[in-house]
Amino acid sequence: MKKYENFCKSVQNLKDIYRYEPPYDSVVTAGLTGLFEITFELAWKAMKEILTNQGIDASRSGSPKQIIKLAYKAGLIFDEEIWLSALSARNNVSHAYNESIALDIIDKTKSVYYKMFLGLQEEMQNWI
């Protein structure tokens, strides 16, 4: 499953977020928020692929929010609220020029979202 493989590579790359500490320069800030965004995009698309392969037809045309809700209902993810928070953060990446928004995304990725992605990666192994 290509989407799953790409997601796993992205999670591996996202681990580098722990190599950087504030204060971040603008290039590092853009890079770290970009890594989060890419990983999130690959995560929900991999969830969609797995759910579709499992015969959950509603996932075929779902938005990220719908896929998160379906994945939670199916047991692919275990904390819907954290995933919805990550979706909100992903939607805010376009405002990462605002330093406080960017720092919040980086901080939450380090404290919550990276572990969330790892949990999904582990659970996906049981589904494929």
**Tens-level pLDDT at each residue, the chain (128 residues):** 899 999 999 999 999 999 999 999 999 999 999 999 999 999 999 999 999 999 988 877 889 999 999 999 999 999 999 999 999 999 999 887 789 999 999 999 999 999 999 999 999 999 98
Q: Which class in CATH covers the domain with range 2-126?
A: mainly alpha
Q: What is the pLDDT of residue 90?
A: 97
* Residues 19 and 65 sit within 8 Å (Cβ to Cβ): no
C-alpha angle with apex 101: 95 to 105, nearest 5 degrees? 105
**What are the sequence ranges of the domains in the chain?**
2-126
End-to-end alpha carbon distance in the chain: 8
